[in-house]
Every structure is written in structure tokens, then in C-alpha cells.
Structure 1
Amino acid sequence: MEQQSISTAKAGIVTSLQARCSVIAAANPTRGKYNQQLPLGQNVELTEPILSRFDVLCVVLDRADPIEDETLEQFVVESQMRSHPHYGEVDEIVRGTGAGARRVDKVDKDIISHDLLRKYIMYARDKICPRIDSIDQDMLEKLYGDLRREQVGECMRITVRYLESVIRMSEAFARMHLRDTVRQDDVDHAILNFSKYLAPITGEHERAHKILQDLVKEHVRGFVLSHGAVPGKCVVEREELDLRCHDYGILDIKAYLESDLFKAAFEYKKNKGQIILTLPH
């Protein structure tokens, strides 16, 4: 927690109690689907004062991607295999049954056990207390000033809490490596978490362009999985783009289809209602 303490006034007792713990919270989007064109606060209906109390904010999107879905499936299955108490006693594990049983996974001897990982985390948390006296304080001051100046539009408001978050994250990175002092690369690593706060919300044409690019990627992935080769061109139906843009609050894409941004990359066959992208060989 931010101040690592909590104040209470109840039954005539007014005091401050230690609360040295981490808080992990999860929230679903209010409309059932995360709208990437809206700030995080509007998607989950949490106020800026609440959001500013978290050191790390992560958006997890569920996109249908055959390649990533297969990778996730393998990860889940193999995680279950590795969690077995006798996993390290064999040299290889056969996955699947029947014809699929020919697929063999080698046991990775470098993977540490859950018990060892737990001991490592407990040791780092209890024994390692990194000092921050060696970091570049001028750099942190400049970071805070830049964040305050560059916040635009509906981006989340930057407060001094984010400067404290950078320091806490820097200490956490140093603690992970069992270091007694915070190094400059720890600070640099923590600062990367704040790049999302500086990105302004783009215009409607740029948003439609990004949606079209995502559709093209989905079509190309599907073709590659089905035919084993990259197509010479990709065709996206105008109706499909209309529906996808409508999900993100873009109700009319006519102006986008006539813009220089669209014409520089795509070709629109109005009589067929098709958007065509020629792919390099």
C-alpha cells in the first residue's frame, strides 16, 4: 500500500496501524469489452485518485489469434506437467495420444522447482533492502517534470504518486537480483512502465487505420495457417471494417477511405465494397 499504514477511528479508538502488504486488484470492463480508444478509468469506471494509488496498471486483452492461442494452450498443458511432484525424475514426456503421442517434450533441467522459487522470493523480501542513494536524482526530477508537461487530452493525470511508484519499482527490480543498491538500469526499467501515460489519443482516421491494419493481420494469419504461405494480396470487406469500427465508436469511415492516410497504403474498390492491400513477396 502507498503509505504502508491505515488509519482507523472506531469505537472511540483513533490510531494508525501498519499495513505492509501489496494489493492486487482486477476489474472487468463495464461494457463487457475493453474499448482501446477510451482511457482506462472510463473502461473500468474507477476514479483517477483510486487508479493513481497503483504502481502498475496492466490491460489484458483477449484477441483471437490462432498462433498465440496455440502457444497459450501449450503453456497451460506443460505447466500442469511441470507441477507434478515427479516431473524431474524423467528425461522426456510424451504429449497426446494415438498419432499425437509421437510428439515428445524434453524435460528442461534448468527450470527451478516451486519450493526453490518460493525460498528465493522469501529471502529477497526479508533480507534484501536496496538503497536508492546511488541513483540519478536529477533524472527522476526531470522525469516527473516531463510527465507533468506532456500529459495531454484524456490521458491519466500524473501526480507525485507516480514518482514514488518509480522509486518502489526500482527497488523491486534491485531486490529481484539480490542487490543492496538500486542501479541506474533498475530506474530505467521502471520508467518504461510510464510510457503509456504520455501517448495521446489519436484522431478518428488514425484509429480506423489501426483497426484496418489489425484486420489485415488477422486475414494474413488465417491464410498462412490454411495454406502455409503468405498471400500476394489481402482483401478486407468494407462491411467487415464498418462493423469493427462501429465497436470502437467510429460510426462513419467514408472520410477515412478518402484520406491520404488510407490511400497511401490501401486501394478501395467501391463497386465491390473491398479494401485491397498488395503484400510484398
Structure 2
Amino acid sequence: MDHEQEIRVMQREYFDFLDDEADQGIYSTTVSRMLEDGQNRLIVDMVDLRKKNRKRAEGLLKAPVDELIAFQGALKEMVGLLKPELAKELSNMEFFVGLEGTFGSKHVSPRSLSSRFLGSLVCCDGIVTKCTTIKPKVVKSVHYCPATQRTMERRYTDLTSSDPFPSSASYPTKDEDGNPLETEYGLSSYKDHQIFSIQEMPEKAPAGQLPRSVDVMVEHSLVDSCKPGDRVQVVGEFRCLPSKQGNVSTGMFRSIILANNVITMSKAADVNITTEEFTKIRSFAKQNGRTVFDTLARSLAPSIHGHEYIKKALLCMLLGGTEKILPNGTRLRGDINILLIGDPSVAKSQLLRYVLGTAPRAVATTGRGSSGVGLTAAVTTDMETGDRRLEAGAMVLADRGVVCIDEFDKMTDADRTAIHEVMEQGRVTVSKAGIQAQLNARCSVLAAANPVYGRYDQYKTPMENIGLPDSLLSRFDCIFVMLDTLDADADRRIADHVLQVHRYKENVNNRAAAPETADSLNTASTQDENSEQDSSTGQRVLTIYEKNDVLRTKGSGQKILTVEFMKKYIHMAKMVQPSLTQEACEVIAEEYARLRSQDAVENDESNNTAVGGGRSKMARTQPVTARALETLIRLATAHAKARMSRKIE
């Protein structure tokens, strides 16, 4: 059987799959709806194809070029059957097939792509980092010769086409006799094409290694289907293209994915919660009632002693407020921003590291290691075409997540100014090199900084110690001044806690000192809190409390929640949308008026914000503006989410 006969046989099998009137007529109805909407791309689920024709499903994964040619031919035949009035125009129309569903071992990330996937169909997850502009590519050119009054046409294919033999790239200007030719642009055919890069997810990249990326080429209706910062799944053929240096082909090849479907993933975190876990989480919230907030806050970073108020604020940040879009288009942010400023060795960076491990989507950066454009967005030049293109920064990549900025005070003023818009408006506006664009950056900012003088000077005002402008401080919902005070009792408690942590680690190492296999050796040597939760949930049982909780103070009777339970509880609590009651509105209004009216804020019981030991009042750490009113609303909303309450009380 020759190649054309094989294509016809495959086309008949695909037509039988689409003509499913014997079943439920799902794809017949889908094709009709596609034509009514003026679309030319049919999305097919691989699960449906695998159920009806397993051979064709396996062929699509192994040799997608011929299979897609036959599939699209069957789709065109199906369109002619459903719409007989299009029979005359059908020869000039193009229809495409997009794939979705499960791909098994072909579901990869940019890091796991290798040469064994070349020529096969893959599904690649990633985050879009840069996009080129949309360019037209000539498919067919028609030329008219005035001297001979004849018309000629030429078709163009390249290494990204389904044709195995690329045509010449030369554009005809003269015929065989040297007569000049005129291009008939109205009769010529073009197609849109665009190239964007997807990078592996920041939270899935191995620590200490650069994230991998791969280029994706989209054509026709798939162009402009995503923008920098979007998390996508790309289904397409993984192909290599020869690279040239000085018009000489080298042995190095450039890999690219020729997409036939681009699926935008949900911005929500990918956390799987079973029915039993859902019931267990709801019952835990109902049983603990008002104390659930304190229990959750106490379980945040249990290896760090004290800082109760800071842990409560971090819990509010992870839960977040409620974002509102008013009818006139005004956006009220629900993200909570926190600034930790204080002396060295007060666990600022450790708190940031814990948030990085707990938040479902978090990006870490430092003040010296990042610039303003690196945090927001940059306009770069494409090395191949010379065009300008947009590259997303850390805050755009952390959309709907948390950005942790350590050494915040080491940033230059120009770089800090770049994040003002992100912290309040939740977007990045770029107006550079002729590019006008807005990118979503709806993320919470958790920053840690040292005072201006290295250590906190208690003889100067907080504003002089912090050294940040009011325009930036007013965008932080909570500012905590963390002091390393001299207190014998507190020092003793901290020392006992740290020594308890070291004893716990030593016991783990001793217990895993003689592993039997290499796998168990790797598991034991890299064991931490997260891996212990994985091992404890290996039987699909969600453990609420830590079993071997040696970190809590002896005799306190306070249990610590597991990290796995914390993640799933926070994920569920974020879905709750509490509403303000009239009583809550009155309390918030009175508190806001009190903060605005007084010249000095009364010193709370928190040691984190105490400046002087014997003074009952302290100078204000930040200006109380109208943003403080929204801060109170966001904190109250987060507290209600922790209780999984529908009302803010």
C-alpha cells in the first residue's frame, strides 16, 4: 500500500470517528456549532479518540504529520456533508484539528523534552515569558506578466510545513524569458504566524538550576492566544530545525514545538482535594470555630519561635482578601502586602522561605539581584528578526501568587519605584520602544529589609529608621518592626527552641543512618517537613496534626498542623467569598476614624512593634491614608476566610 492509499484509509477511519450519529452525535454537533461560529478549528479529546479507535490515537502520538493531514481531510469531508452549500468554496477553505485530553508519557515540561520526543506529538506545560509580533507568511503568490498576459502562481513551504520537501525561498520577479512580473496581492494567500517561548513553572524548577524554555510556533487562529505571564499547555509536534551561521548549516539544531492547540491553564493553584479531605477540612473548621485562626497561625513556620502577630499577618496574606471589579471598571485589590523590617538574625528571611514553600505560587528575588524591569517587564530585541518583543518579569510570572523580595532596602530608588503600580493596581504598564501593553501582575508582595543604620536606632523615629518613601509605605498593608531586644527569659526560650530543632534533625539522621538501598539513602538525606508529609500521605490519608511534633513547647498542649493539611486548607479557604455585615462596617469605620484622628498610635502588646521598653506611645511607622481603610477590610476578609465564614463579623 503506497503512501496516498494509507492517507485515504486513515481519512476514512477519522471520518467514521467524526460521523458519530450512532453514538450521541457529539462531534457532528460540535462541527455544526464550529461552522455557525465562523471557526475553522475543531478541538478533539484524545480520550474519545482512544475509546473509539486506539490505533489512530497511538498513530497521532507517534507520527502526527500524516495523521493530522488525514484527520483534517476527514474534517473537510464532514463539513461538505453537513453544509452542501459550501461545496464550491470547500477547495479553497482550510480546517484544522486541535487536540486535548490525556497524553500519557508525552505530557512533558520544557526540562524533560529530549531528542526521543522529536517527530512525535507532545503536550508541554509552561509559563509564557516572551512573544513576538504577528507576522504574515506567504503561502501562495500569484503573478501577472503584462508582456505575455499570462498568470502564474507559486506555493511556498518551509521546514515547519507538513510538506516534507521545502520549496525555494526566492520570490519571482521575472519569468523564464526575463519579462517582469506583477504580484496580484488580492489573489495571493497568506497566513499569520507567531513565536513565543514557554518556560517551566517557577515553583517546579529545581533549586539552584536555571529554568529551561522552549520556543513554540503558532499559526492561523492560534496567534495571540496567550500573552507573557500566562500559564499554558501547548499541544503540538516537537520538531528540530537546522541552524545556520553565515549561510552555512551546522550540526546544531534548534528545537521548536509546532502547536495545534494552546490551552490557557487556570490561575488557581493546582491542588487535588478528594471528597474525604473536603469533609475533614470542613469538620475541622466547624469544630475549632473561633480558634481556627490561632491554630493556623501557630502552625506557620513552627521552627521559628515567637512572632505570633507576624505569623497571623502572613496567614492573612496567604488567604488574601476579596478582589472586586466595580461596574465602572475600577479594581479594588484583594492582595495583602507585608513589609518586615528589623535587626539582623530575627528570622526575616526564614519567614520568607517558609512562605515560598507553603504558597501554591511564589517567586523569590532579592534587592541586589533584581532590577525594576526584571521585576515588571522588559522590552528586548529578537535576535532572529530584529523586532522588539515583550518579556515578563518576576511579578508578572507570579500573577495570583506571592513575590518574596529579600534585602528590600538594597534596591535602588528607581527600581523600587517600578513596583508602585503593581502593588496597588495589580498590573504592569509598558510604554517603551513603540510598545504599549498592560500585563496582569495581581500578586502579594512580602518584603524583608534592614534599617538604614544596619540596626534599629531607638533614639530616632521609625520613619528615619525605615528610610522608605511614604508613597511606598502606604502600599504595604502591614509593616512590622522586628527588634533584637535583650531579654534573658526570651533568649532562654529561643535557645531551648533552637536546640530542640537540632535534636530533632539529629534523631532523623540517626534513624536513617543505615539505609538498605540507594533510593532510601536519597530519601533520608533530603528529608524535610514537606517530604515527611508526602510519606505520611502515601496512603491517601490526610493527616491533620503532626505525629512526631517535637517542635512545640513541652507541656503547652498545642498541636501543630501538617504542611499538607495547611496547603489544602488555605486552598479551600481562598474560595470563600465573605460579605461585610452592617456591624462589621461600623467597627471598621470607627477604627479607621480613630487611626486618622490621633497623632500617636497606642503601643499594642506586640513585642514586634515595640520601640521603647517603658514608653506607652510610639511614633507612627507609616502614614494613615485612605488605603488603611481598605487594609482593614482585607484583613477582616482574610480572617473570615480562615474560619470559612460567609460573613465578616
Relative to the length of structure 2, the TM-score reads: 0.24
Per the alignment, residue 565 of structure 2 pairs with 116
Pair 1:114–1:74, CA change in 2 (3 A): farther
Per the alignment, residue 46 of structure 1 pairs with 468
Per the alignment, residue 624 of structure 2 pairs with 158
The structure with the larger Rg is 2
Q: Equivalents in 1 of 2:454, 2:596: separation in Å? A: 32
Q: Equivalents in 1 of 2:547, 2:648: separation in Å? A: 41
Deviation at 1:166, TM superposition (A): 0.7
**Tell me, what secondary structure is at the counterpart of 1:62?**
coil
**Tell me, what secondary structure is at the counterpart of 1:112?**
coil
Unaligned runs of 5+ in 2: 1-422, 506-528, 537-544, 601-617
Match for 1:149 among 591, 597, 618? Answer: 597
**Tell me, what secondary structure is at the counterpart of 1:26?**
strand
Q: Equivalents in 2 of 1:89, 1:154: separation in Å? A: 41
Q: Equivalents in 1 of 2:587, 2:546: separation in Å? A: 50
Contact kept, 8 Å, 1:92 with 1:105, in 2: the verdict is no
Contact kept, 8 Å, 1:91 with 1:107, in 2: the verdict is no
Aligned partner letter, 2:577: C
Aligned partner letter, 2:563: H
Q: Given the alignment of the two structures, is residue 168 of structure 1 paired with residue 639 of structure 2, yes or no?
A: no
Deviation at 1:6, TM superposition (A): 3.1
Per the alignment, residue 458 of structure 2 pairs with 36
Contact kept, 8 Å, 1:5 with 1:18, in 2: the verdict is yes
* Deviates further, 63-72 or 151-160: 151-160
Per the alignment, residue 131 of structure 1 pairs with 579
Aligned partner letter, 1:44: I
Deviation at 1:150, TM superposition (A): 1.6
Aligned partner letter, 1:182: I
**Tell me, what secondary structure is at the counterpart of 2:580?**
coil
Q: Equivalents in 2 of 1:151, 1:106: separation in Å? A: 43
Per the alignment, residue 477 of structure 2 pairs with 55
Q: Equivalents in 1 of 2:480, 2:549: separation in Å? A: 36
Pair 1:72–1:92, CA change in 2 (3 A): closer
Aligned residues: 173
Per the alignment, residue 26 of structure 1 pairs with 448
Give percent identity, aligned residues only.
30
Residue by residue over 1:238-266, the C-alpha shift from the partner in whole angstroms, topping out at 9 and shown as x without a partner, is xxxxxxxxxxxxxxxxxxxxxxxxxxxxx
Per the alignment, residue 646 of structure 2 pairs with 180
Contact kept, 8 Å, 2:546 with 2:562, in 1: the verdict is no
Q: Equivalents in 2 of 1:44, 1:178: separation in Å? A: 36
Aligned partner letter, 1:67: D
Per the alignment, residue 391 of structure 2 pairs with none
Per the alignment, residue 12 of structure 1 pairs with 434
**Tell me, what secondary structure is at the counterpart of 1:42?**
helix
Pair 1:11–1:135, CA change in 2 (3 A): farther
Deviation at 1:176, TM superposition (A): 1.4
Residue by residue over 1:182-211, the C-alpha shift from the partner in whole angstroms, topping out at 9 and shown as x without a partner, is 11xxxxxxxxxxxxxxxxxxxxxxxxxxxx
Aligned partner letter, 1:130: P
Deviation at 1:35, TM superposition (A): 2.1
Contact kept, 8 Å, 1:41 with 1:51, in 2: the verdict is no
Pair 1:132–1:19, CA change in 2 (3 A): farther
Contact kept, 8 Å, 2:452 with 2:465, in 1: the verdict is yes
Pair 1:151–1:112, CA change in 2 (3 A): same
Q: Equivalents in 2 of 1:131, 1:45: separation in Å? A: 37
Pair 1:117–1:9, CA change in 2 (3 A): same
Aligned partner letter, 2:628: Y
Per the alignment, residue 353 of structure 2 pairs with none
Deviation at 1:75, TM superposition (A): 2.6
Contact kept, 8 Å, 2:584 with 2:648, in 1: the verdict is no
Alignment of 1:1-281 (within 5 A): 1-79=423-501, 81=504, 83=529, 85=532, 110-125=559-574, 127-151=575-599, 155=620, 156-183=622-649
Deviation at 1:26, TM superposition (A): 1.4
Per the alignment, residue 394 of structure 2 pairs with none
- Flag the structure with higher helix content: 1
Q: Equivalents in 2 of 1:158, 1:53: separation in Å? A: 11
Per the alignment, residue 101 of structure 1 pairs with none
Deviation at 1:72, TM superposition (A): 1.5
Aligned partner letter, 1:171: T
Residue by residue over 1:162-188, the C-alpha shift from the partner in whole angstroms, topping out at 9 and shown as x without a partner, is 1111111111111111112211xxxxx
Deviation at 1:91, TM superposition (A): 6.9
> Per chain length, whose mean CA-contact separation is higher, i.e. which structure has more relative contact order (CA < 8 Å, sep 6+)?
1
**Tell me, what secondary structure is at the counterpart of 1:7?**
strand
Contact kept, 8 Å, 1:151 with 1:158, in 2: the verdict is no
**Tell me, what secondary structure is at the counterpart of 1:46?**
coil
Pair 1:89–1:52, CA change in 2 (3 A): closer
**Tell me, what secondary structure is at the counterpart of 1:32?**
coil
Per the alignment, residue 225 of structure 2 pairs with none
**Tell me, what secondary structure is at the counterpart of 1:67?**
helix
Q: Equivalents in 1 of 2:546, 2:628: separation in Å? A: 47
Deviation at 1:14, TM superposition (A): 2.7
Aligned partner letter, 1:157: P
Aligned partner letter, 1:32: G
**Tell me, what secondary structure is at the counterpart of 2:639?**
helix
Deviation at 1:28, TM superposition (A): 0.8
Pair 1:135–1:7, CA change in 2 (3 A): farther
